[in-house]
Structure 1
Amino acid sequence: MSNALSELTNARKAFGLTHDALAQRAGVSRMTVQRTEAGKIDPRLSTLQVLARALGMDLMLVPKALRPDLEDFIRSGGRFLGQPSGIGAPASLIDELLQPDEAAKKLTAPKGRP
């Protein structure tokens, strides 16, 4: 089963929905839901989209090169706001917010300019 199908199946079960209940919400047949989850059919993208939306989810295509960073971001609960220190990276947003004096200096116009 693909990751997308596995996530949709897990979401359906987490909501306590039967195949029939999800099918009604999504406007597809119960057999479509059952056969899709069982891997007996290769569903259209549009079918996966309506199933996802019926579960309050959305499908998103991500470039392969960005996937590890996106997965890390999601796992962190959205708290991954900067690169690790020590590698020449700019300070993270959190570091900037914790040092308001330094941030204020950056916003001050240079001397001799209005």
Structure 2
Amino acid sequence: MSNILPELRNARKSAGLTHDMLAERAGVSRMTVQRTEAGKIDPRLSTLLVLARTLGMDLMLVPKSLRQDLEDFVQSGGRFLGQPSGVGAPPSLVDELLQDAVPTRKHTPPKPKQ
């Protein structure tokens, strides 16, 4: 949970919301927002979910073994690590996965009528 609380606080501040505003939108008390951000309470998962969703975020469980790779991937903008972004860059891993997942249809022109 050490990464979640700063992320929620940063998202709230980036959205220009006060503790009161976030609490009202999320349906929780101002004290819950303040104490959660300060790490003074151990919030329920449901509280973290509602705060995150109110801020336009979602919580995602990631296996520890993949966490660093996922963080590196996100920070690279979804590109292969070590590759420049731009025109000559290879497609992102997401593009490749989508391409593999969605069968492509080959367009064949209609046969001429005889």
- In 2, the alpha carbon distance for the partners of 1:59 and 1:41 equals 19
User: Higher helix proportion, which one?
Assistant: 1
What is the percentage of aligned positions where both structures have the same residue? 80
**Residues 33-84 of structure 1, C-alpha deviation per residue, up to 9 Å, x if partnerless?**
011111111000110000000000000110000011100110011123xx87
> Which aligned runs of 4 or more in structure 1 are off by greater than 6 angstroms?
none
CA RMSD of aligned residues (A): 2.1
Kindly indicate whether residue 71 of structure 2 is the aligned counterpart of residue 57 of structure 1.
no
Which residue of structure 2 lines up, in the alignment, with residue 12 of structure 1? Answer: 12
- TM-score (structure 1 length as normaliser): 0.69
Structure with higher Rg: it is 1
Which residue of structure 2 lines up, in the alignment, with residue 105 of structure 1? Answer: none
Q: CA deviation at 1:30?
A: 0.6
Aligned counterparts, 1:49-88, within 5 A: 49-80=49-80
- In 2, the alpha carbon distance for the partners of 1:77 and 1:27 equals 34
Structure 1 residues not aligned, in runs of 5+: 85-92, 95-114
Which residue of structure 1 lines up, in the alignment, with residue 21 of structure 2? Answer: 21
Which residue of structure 1 lines up, in the alignment, with residue 37 of structure 2? Answer: 37
- In 1, the alpha carbon distance for the partners of 2:25 and 2:67 equals 30
| Number of residue-to-residue matches in the alignment | 86
- In 2, the alpha carbon distance for the partners of 1:52 and 1:59 equals 7
Structure 2 residues not aligned, in runs of 5+: 83-89, 92-114
